[in-house]
Structure 1
Amino acid sequence: MRGKRLRIIRTIGLRIAVIPILLCMLVIIGNALGHLTPATVNPSSAVPGLPAAKPTPFWHSVYASFVAIGTLHWGTSPEITRDLVLRSLEISTILTFGSLFVAALIGIPCGILAALKPRNPIWQAVSAFSVLLGQVPPSDMAVILIFTFCLGWHLIPLTDGWGTFGDAILPIMTVACFNIGYMVKYTEAGMREVMQRSFITAARARGAGTAGVVVRHALRPALTGLLTFFGPQTPMTLFCTVIAEQAFAIPGIGTMLGIKVTTYGAPAFGSGTTLSVTLFIFGMFIMVLNLLIDIAYLWLNPLAD
């Protein structure tokens, strides 16, 4: 147990030490991309007889991006922009973690039951339906949920924006449906593999029931494969969150960045600032989620002892 704690602490330290380096690289890459003018990317777009637009010096733009990130100010009004950024991050965090929680709450039990009852037609149908559910794009899923629960059954009122608990139900379900299928299949595959191991046979020989075997012995090692999958799946979950924000007119981080570009126009500190701040925010979000996944993997993995 002590070795597991030391390994978790070492993993947290290494991840935290690497995060600032990766974020600085994202800022520099964002400035390099935003530093390009339309005439540089596509020479045919240059207007004859007019001088080409000269971009802000590159390293000055990099410095301005770090200033913008540190002050949460890259618009025309620093106070409004700061409140907008913090509020948008809060909403996107609720949507992302809420959707993962709902997907786990539905997908993991269904995967366990599908693995324990492989010949049951009901759980075979649930497993197959979960796969089809994960293939529906989030934009289409949002339309399906709106027509079903709002316009068809009238169970949830159709609102515009964010403010009540009811406003979060359909967006969270939109993102959760994308991950439920993966959770069901990975949990089912992991549980089937674990249930065939020798320590499960030994636990049953000692008189443990099915529920006790699953909860005490099989669940933790069965979920390690699911956590391994969700490392690279995190960016897709965040992307689905942005789509859900656009579909339901929620002022999350994706909507906020779109409003910033279309309403305020050019960034205050140069053409690369908005792109750099966008990459910084999404990069920080993904790195924090992956850090939590790594910690959960070390805690669940029995070999970490």
Structure 2
Amino acid sequence: MTALLDDLRKQLKHLHRQAGEPSTRSIATRTNRQISHTTVHMVLQCRKLPRREQLDRVVEALGGDVQPFRELWVAIRDAQDPAAASGALQQESTGTPLQAAPHQSAMDFDPVRNDIVLQPLGGIFSPSAGYARLTKSDSTHISYADIAEMVSAGDMEAHDLEFRSQIYDTSERSKRHLATDVAAFANGSGGVILVGIVSDKQGQATAMTDVHFGDESVGRLPSIISSLVSPVPDFRIFPIENPERSRYGVLLIFVSGSSSALHTVKAGQGLLFPKRSGYNIRFLSESEIAAAYRQSP
């Protein structure tokens, strides 16, 4: 838990610096006085875990993205309550064994290939406009031009589509984000993560950044997923190469939905239970977790 709290403290310090290091009174004013300047000081110092609503207001006042801070807050709370985490593990171990689906254990792609075929996803939801654009009725291959067209159209993140501007690195925070993104899709109807796409705060694609397929971080993605997500979902990683830039382009991570297992993410001493909700990720409540385990075959 100490390491996670240190991570939260560092992230808050960095966000505060990016915002120009405003005073605590100024930050309190930006929250419309919903919290006092002394509470702001307490949150920024982060000597102990603040209440989540207090953390949310400080992050919003500093112009930050609340979601990553909420994920870290949940991970710390799980670490503070090891009994709940061990109870979840015991519940899994005493039920029917959950078998991991086939998954990609290594980067087994051809770096010069720039096309793949995506199959329509199952589930009760219709595909989003962005995913439908990538899933052609004539089963033609996805190319870099198809993704560029999607960005030009301003397609949105959705229940089956996630944009990331940069490759997930090997920091603990980034590993947790990757595992959470993958598990959230696996706990739903599945979806695609496109790495190399910039999006705005509303989740609309705005630009392509072209990641480098030779980055050592790319080769570690499968092992990160396999080590943090349990059971390991069925996933595939493909490079969609820019025909004008060798070994640069968009990285596509396809995750199959799973109806037979609840996929968890290791976070400190606890577990996270993420699920896709529109273009956001939410974490399952205790009652939802219990219901999911009861429904597992």
TM over 0.5: no
- What TM-score comes out, normalization by structure 1 length? 0.25
- What TM-score comes out, normalization by structure 2 length? 0.26
> Larger C-alpha radius of gyration, 1 or 2?
1
Structure having the larger proportion of residues in helix:
1
Structure having the larger proportion of residues in strand:
2
1 or 2 for the larger relative contact order (CA 8 Å, sep ≥6)? 1
